Structure formats: structure tokens, C-alpha cells
Chains A and B, each alone.
Chain A
Amino acid sequence: MEEDAGKLIHDEWEDCSLVDYNRSGVPLIEIVSEPDMRSAEEVIAYLEKLRHLMQYLDVSDCKLQEGSMRADVNLSVRETGGSLGTRTEMKNLNSFKAISRAIENERERQIELLEQGKAVDQETRRWDDNKEYSYAMRSKEDAKDYRYFPDPDLPPVHVSDTWLLEIRKAQPELREEKQQRYQEEFGLPLYDAQLLTESRCFAALFEETAVLFGNAKKTANWFLVEVLRLMKEKGMEAEQVKFSPSHLAALLDMVEKKEVSPQNARKIFAEIFDRDAEPRSYAEKNGLMIVNDTGLLKDTVARIIDENPEAFAELVGGKDKVLGFFVGLIMKELKGRVNPADVRETLKKQIERRKTQETQEI
């Protein structure tokens, strides 16, 4: 554990750097792994896992771009079965993609050196992600000799078993535990459980909605389809999604009670997603509730059929595909305020009637 030293900004206009000490004193945990990883994929998987763990423990938001998570990569190559080679350390890695690219690049560089019969120098290198290239920081001042010693200003901290136990007890449910539970309780496949637990607050949003609505499986489906779709459209990360779970629960309830059509439910949800709209008042104000007016439905169906005689003839002639076309037109005409099932029912009755008429005419 240490404290952040501060932030460096490289001035673009003048040949100088600027130091911002506002961040100094912010606690920092440095985790040093053993040389256990064998590929960029393993490194990324390790970092992803660490990131989720830190986020679930509410230690940090772990954003590489903002510097709340950083990684230096030590890398060496060796022939299969051989002993570990000389390592280099790579700095200035600001995204998982940069880490991945830097590992690939450095692996190739070292292999090339060795194949040319040259040696790898133990050194610190700086990654330039724009040029996808690294260079050695060679000055003597960069040679590593930190001269660490027990800080007299910081008395030692004693971590007792009791204290550890208390911390463990107070620890929140971690991502893997959540995924396990989602699979068991909600019967979700692992992949879906992974998506829902992508971030701790996203999972919390899902769970709160599910509790309020009362059906976790249906809530999960809504998240996996509608929430993910809007996130993708808007290019949002899971932790940016914010709306009242009670609003989505209320909407799902309205769908369940057939008070809104699935089509309009999507429309309403977009409003909840964007500005946390209250679904019932929004639906009522905008005429999105289902109306149980059989007369209106009958008249509309009749009118649409009259306006599309050729298509209707095809339908009567047995072309079932055209049914969807008619349902769509009618739903549109009635702004989705009716149940598609009711529309279909009414349409079928009309077809039957028309068929009977035709038979009589022959």
C-alpha cells in the first residue's frame, strides 16, 4: 500500500511538464504477481478479474484511462522448457488494448533479438500507443534502487485473525458468487449471468428491479435484451446506466397485465432509460395504454382492409405471411394501444367473413 505521488501532464505548447499534486495522498495498492502469465490473453483475464474484484469490494472504479487502475508489464521470453529469460518492464499502458498490444510487440521484439543472437537488456521501456512501439528509458537516473526502508512516520499495522474475520464477514457478495446464484436461482445460463454482473451497480439495478417486480427470469430477459440494446446504441458502459428500479418494475407489471403492448413498452422504457420517466403517467399522457374498444378496433381493421384490397386478397388466398403486414399497419394506426393478439383475432374473423361472402357469391 502506498500513496499516489501526483499526476504529470506534458505541456503541448511549451517544452515542459506540469505537476498536479491534487491526487497525492490518495491510497494506492500495488499488487505484484509472480511470473505466472504466459500470454496477453492471460494477462487481460487476470486484470479483468482484479478489476471486477476491486469494483465489487468498492475499493476503486478501476478506470485505466483515468489512472485509477494502472499496470506495468514485466515480460521475458524463453524456449519451451527453458528457464526464464531477462525481463523488461513496460510503462505507460493506459488501456487493456494498449497492454495487449504492448505485450505482443515486446514478445516479438525480444524473440527477434534472441534469434539474431543478441541479448535482451534488463530495462524499463515506455510504450507509445499511437505509434505502437516502445523505447528504452535508458538514463542512469532511471536505474532502480528505491532504497525502501520501514517508514518511521508510519507505525506498523497489525492484522489480526479476528480483524480479518470481521472484514471477511462484512465483505459483499463477489461477482463469481453472484453468477453462481443467478444460474441456480434464476436458471440463467453462465453467459447471461456474466453480462448481468459486468458491474456491481448494474447487478444491483437488476436485482432491485427483480425483487420489486417479482419475476427474476423476466426481469433478466428485459435487461439482457432491452437494457443491453440501449446501452449499445448509446455506447454506454454498465456503470453508467442509472434509473429507478421501481420504474422498470412498474413497466414490467403493466406489460404483464397487458396494459401496454410490448411495442409501446419499449418506447416507454427508452424514456425510463434516458430520463427515469414514471411509466404509467408517461404512457397515459402519450396515449400508449391499451384501450379495450372493440368497436374502434373492428372499424379500423375494416378500413385498413378496404384501403389494401390486393394485399387482403392475397391473405384470403392463403398467403399467411401477409398477416404480419396487416397487424403492423393496424398497430401503427392505433399507435400500439391495442393488443397484437386482439388485432390478430379481429383480422382472422374478417378473413373468415370475407371467405364466407366469396363462397356465397360463387
Chain B
Amino acid sequence: MAKRIDDETMENVCILAKLSLKGGELDRAREEMQKMLDYVQKLEELDTENVPPLTHIFGDADVFREDIVRNSDTRDVILANAPKVKEGQFQVPKTVG
């Protein structure tokens, strides 16, 4: 059995995920996550002591390109997608108290 997801853990995960689940939705999400964690617990059976983590399948060659500044005149089309715009910038609720 994997670690039980207590209230505090679940609250923390919701903060990290930037989600506010309430009532039944929260309970169901916790239950499903618990099931999933219990299932993936299976990995503990594997001895990976001397196995390095594999992050990139083709990570051997360096991928570089020339450092060339390119400008594109797409400000208006980009801003057109924004829910709220002010003075050519994206408007958000105040970020500092």
C-alpha cells in the first residue's frame, strides 16, 4: 500500500496543481489518486539501485543553433487571445499586496 493521502497532502497537491476541488469532486479525486498510487507502488519491486534515470531517449548529441535575434510583428494577434489586455500588456489581478 502506498502512503495514505491525508488532508494536508491533498491540500498541498491542489495548491501545486492550482486547482480548487470541493466536496465530492475532492473526495473522488483523492480516492482515484490513492488507487493510482497503490497501483504504481508496483515499481518498488524493481531493483533500480544501479540504474541511472533515463531522461532523454536521444540525449547524446548536443543540439545547438546560432544565437540570432529574430523579431516577429505578432504582438496584436497574440494579445487578441488574451482574456484581458491593458496598454499592450496582459492584465492580471494585483500580484503584490
Report whether chain A binds chain B.
Answer: yes
A interface, CB within 8 angstroms of B = 8-11, 14-21, 126, 135, 137, 140-141, 143, 145, 147, 150, 152, 155-158
Q: Is the CB of A150 within 8 A of B93?
A: no
Residues of chain A with a CB closer than 8 A to B16's CB: 145, 147
Known A11-B86, A140-B15, A155-B62: A126·B93 in contact at CB below 8 Å? no
- Cβ contact of B94, chosen from A16, A21, A143, A150, cutoff 8 A: A16
Q: Which 9 A-B pairs have the closest CB atoms?
A: A18-B89, A150-B55, A19-B90, A17-B95, A155-B63, A156-B59, A20-B89, A155-B59, A17-B92
A95 to chain B minimum Cβ distance, whole angstroms, is 18
**Alpha-carbon distance between A11 and B85 when the two chains are bound, in angstroms:** 12
Residue of B nearest to A14 (CB): B86
Q: How far, in whole Å, are A10 and B96 apart by their CA atoms in the complex?
A: 8
Q: Does B42 sit within 8 A of A, measured CB to CB?
A: no
CB proximity to A under 8 Å, residues B44-97? 53, 55-56, 58-59, 61-63, 86-87, 89-97
Across the interface, which residues of A come within 8 angstroms of B61, CB to CB?
A: 155
Q: A9-B89, A18-B86, A18-B90 are in contact. Are A155 and B95 (CB under 8 A)?
A: no
Q: Taking the nearest CB of chain A, how far is it from the CB of B69, in angstroms?
A: 10
Q: Which of these, A8, A140, A157, contacts B95 with CB under 8 Å?
A: A8
Q: A140 vs B87: C-alpha distance in the bound complex, in angstroms? A: 31
How many residues of B sit at the interface, in one of the four size bands? 20 to 34
| CB-defined contacts of B89 to chain A, threshold 8 Å | 9, 18-20
A contact residues around B58 at 8 Å (CB): 155
Chain B residues positioned under 8 Å from A155 (CB to CB): 56, 58-59, 61-63
Further 16 A-B residue pairs, CB within 8 A, beyond A9-B89, A16-B92, A150-B53 = A11-B86, A11-B94, A14-B86, A15-B94, A16-B91, A17-B92, A17-B95, A18-B87, A19-B92, A21-B90, A135-B97, A137-B97, A143-B15, A145-B16, A147-B16, A156-B56
What's the minimum C-beta distance from A152 to chain B, rounded to whole angstroms?
A: 7
What separation, in Å, do the CA atoms of A140 and B96 have in the docked complex? 14
**Chain A-chain B contacts (Cβ-Cβ < 8 Å), number:** 60
B interface residues with partner A (beta carbon < 8 Å): 12, 15-16, 53, 55-56, 58-59, 61-63, 86-87, 89-97
Give chain B residues whose Cβ lies under 8 Å from the Cβ of A152.
55-56
User: Residue on A with the closest CB to B58?
Assistant: A155
A126 touches B90 (CB 8 A): no
Least CB separation from B75: chain A residue: A22
Contact for B93 among A16, A141, A145, A158, CB less than 8 A: A16
B94–A10 touching, CB < 8 Å? yes
A127 to B84, CA, bound (A): 29
> Would you list 29 pairs from A and B whose C-beta atoms are within 8 A, ordered by A residue?
A8-B95, A10-B94, A10-B95, A11-B86, A11-B91, A14-B86, A15-B94, A16-B91, A16-B93, A16-B94, A17-B96, A18-B86, A18-B87, A18-B89, A18-B90, A18-B91, A18-B92, A19-B89, A21-B90, A137-B97, A140-B15, A143-B15, A145-B16, A150-B55, A155-B56, A155-B58, A155-B62, A155-B63, A158-B62
> Using Cβ atoms and an 8 Å threshold, which residues of chain B touch A8?
95
